[in-house]
Amino acid sequence: MADAQAREKILGAFLTLLAEKRFERIELSEVAKLANVTLADLRGEFGSTFDMVAAFMRETDKKVLAGDEQLTLDPEMPEQSARDRLFEVLMRRFEALSPYREAIRSLYRSARTNPQLAMGLNKLAVRSQQWMLSSAGVGSSGLIGGMRAQALAGFFARAMQTWLDDEDPGLARTMAALDRQLASAERLAGFAREMCRFVPGCRPRRRSSYRDEAFPEDPNAPVPV
């Protein structure tokens, strides 16, 4: 069996099981049986069920990033603010996740009672959000980029709580929740900027020259108040 086909079958089987039961109750033998592969084949592709979660998140990243070409070709895209671009990217992420809503709901339930799983998922989420920031044209490298990605992972998780129960095909509630979370991100960036005045070694700068906004690459981004 070709590696790509094996991985696809295994990942599909894992997500099917995850939609039916809690993460910690899924046995590797169950995944192999449902995927119709041997345990040796399974071990050759994944080291654990958590590796399958990581692979699922990478595949989701790839689906979202594959939409970048369309955005690049959109003549209106350059006129959008960085916040608007990030909104579009994250809504693409929700759309990519839609077929797996029950599996994600199950994973969230397990994370609430499993701190080790929660920490692992957070690490994966931050990594994914670094790619989402890059897709939206927002800096994601270095210490500041890492802090942005961590904050964005938290804001996205809060919007996801709405998305999990949003039965509207147009995801109106999800869009409203995500917009509120991105607005919170801007306010948080503004607060951190102002607090810099009181931190030794953090040189205050004129308002017009601030560059550590939530979305600093966009000169037209609104300044948090």
Q: Are 145 and 139 in contact (CB under 8 A)?
A: yes
User: pTM of this prediction?
Assistant: 0.79
Q: What is the pLDDT of residue 79?
A: 65
Residues of the chain with pLDDT under 70: 1-2, 69-79, 188-225
- pLDDT, tens digit, 9 for 90 and up, residues 118-131: 999 999 999 999 99
Q: How far is CA 160 from CA 88, 144, 175, 181, in A?
A: 15, 24, 10, 11
pLDDT digits (tens, 9 = 90+) for 169-187: 999 999 999 999 999 887 7
- Predicted confidence (pLDDT) per residue in 131-145, tens digit: 999 999 888 888 888
Q: Which DSSP string corresponds to 29-46?
A: HHHHHHHT--HHHHHHH-
Q: What is the pLDDT of residue 140?
A: 86
Among 211, 154, 210, 145, which residue's Cα sits nearest to residue 181? 154
